[in-house]
Amino acid sequence: MEKTVNQKAWFLVLPVLFLVAFSAVLPLMTVVNYAFQDTFGNNQFFWAGLSWFSDLLHSDRMWSALGRQMVFSIIILAIEVPLGIFVALNMPKKGFWASFCLVTMSLPLLIPWNVVGTIWQIFGRVDIGLLGYTLDKLGIPYNYTQEFYAAWATVIVMDVWHWTSLVALLAYAGLQSIPDAYYQAAKIDQASRWKVFRFIELPKIMGVMMIAILLRFMDSFMIYTEPFVVTGGGPGNSTTFLSIDLVKMALGQFDLGPAAAFSLMYFLVIMLISWVFYTIMTNLEKREGA
């Protein structure tokens, strides 16, 4: 007996498709239009071809911003993923304190990005900020507006404070889904805590953690508001990541053609890396299913 396929469900998806087309595809086409043309105002465009892309590929400015962005994302993942797993492993599994920890861990995620930047901008000030004032009294030189390492440390610690909760909550959800039979078998075999984590918990949460890594990489690679509010991309260009450099090019210098080409290359890099993560995730799922 042949199955009849009901295509009526597509009518429920059409409003979403129209919304995505209006909010994403049409602006993207506008960016593509600017990326291949030049304008001097009055809605007059001149064909530029691939010249903007060629200039960017030979630009030290873009490669420097890309290098800073990659270093920042790698540091963020190297800190937040192990720390999030560690926090999830030590959170209560049941009862009042489990609910209390979940609510507490969710609080940083509810704070808007610009508020996070403002909090840490004040927190790090030497005159009125608790962190800056304390470090200054301890004789530790700290000025995130003038010192390279202080600026990087502030931006990294700020991001870790803001987003480690996301990794911890995802890891906690993965740990909660592991059946008790695995732990009972490990207890019978007198497995150590490390072996329980290595051979039971880590493989079972690997799929969830790949999602966490993908989300954190994408977000860290597109970070703009927090470092811009705290350091403005400085001192110098030390914290001028790709997004900040793009905004400076588009709005500060009003170079719409190069900025459009820059944004397309930025978009393609994120899509490529996301595709790599997705491929790894699907391969892990197939391996687990086999």
The predicted-structure confidence for 27-40, as pLDDT tens digits, reads as follows 888 888 888 887 76
Which two tokens mark 137? 């009294």
Residue the block writes with tokens 């009849």: 4
Residue 4: which pLDDT band, with cuts at 50, 70 and 90? low
- The residue type found at 250 is A
Q: Is residue 53 part of a domain?
A: no
Please give the average per-residue pLDDT across 110-115, as a whole number. Answer: 90
Cis ω before 235 (30° cut-off from 0): yes
Q: Is residue 151 part of a domain?
A: yes
- Taking only the tens place, the pLDDT of each residue in 65-79 is 999 999 999 999 999
Question: Which H or E element spans position 47?
Answer: strand 45-47
Q: Is residue 167 part of a domain?
A: yes
Would you give the DSSP letter of residue 140? -
The CA-based dihedral angle spanning residues 39, 44, 48, 51, taken in that order and rounded to the nearest 10 degrees: 10
Domain around 97:
59-289
What CATH number does residue 241 fall under? 1.10.3720.10
CB-side neighbour CA atoms (13 Å) of 56: 24
- Taking only the tens place, the pLDDT of each residue in 127-175 is 888 999 999 889 888 889 889 999 999 999 999 999 999 999 999 999 9
What's the CA gap between 64 and 68, in Å, rounded? 6
What's the CA gap between 181 and 96, in Å, rounded? 24
- Taking only the tens place, the pLDDT of each residue in 203-231 is 889 888 988 998 899 899 989 999 999 99
Q: Tell me the three state secondary structure of residue 24.
A: helix
Give DSSP secondary structure letters for 144-162: TTT-HHHHHHHHHHHHHHH
Q: Is residue 282 part of a domain?
A: yes
Q: Is residue 207 part of a domain?
A: yes
| Residue 251 in this model has a pLDDT that exceeds 80 | yes
**Total domains present in the chain:** 1
Q: Is residue 203 part of a domain?
A: yes
Q: What is the pTM of this model?
A: 0.85
Contact 165, 212 (CB under 8 A): no
Contacts of the segment 34-38: beta carbons below 8 A, 24+ positions apart:
34/256, 34/257, 34/259, 34/260, 35/257, 35/260, 35/261, 35/263, 35/264, 37/257, 38/257
The radius of gyration of the chain from alpha carbons, rounded to an integer in Å, stands at 24
What residues does 253 pair with on adjacent strands?
none
What's the CA gap between 53 and 279, in Å, rounded? 28
What's the CA gap between 173 and 88, in Å, rounded? 9
| Residue 288 in this model has a pLDDT that exceeds 70 | no
What's the CA gap between 273 and 27, in Å, rounded? 22
Q: Is residue 12 part of a domain?
A: no
Q: Is residue 112 part of a domain?
A: yes
What residues does 45 pair with on adjacent strands?
39
Q: What distances in angstroms separate CA 64 from CA 56, 70, 163, 176, 282, one per listed residue?
A: 11, 10, 25, 42, 33
pLDDT, residue 175, reads 93
φ/ψ of 47, rounded to 5, equals: -65, 130
The mean of the pLDDT values for the chain is 87
Q: Tell me the three state secondary structure of residue 249.
A: helix
With CA atoms as reference, report the closest residue to 242 among 273, 263, 271, 214.
263
Which two tokens mark 111? 């704070």
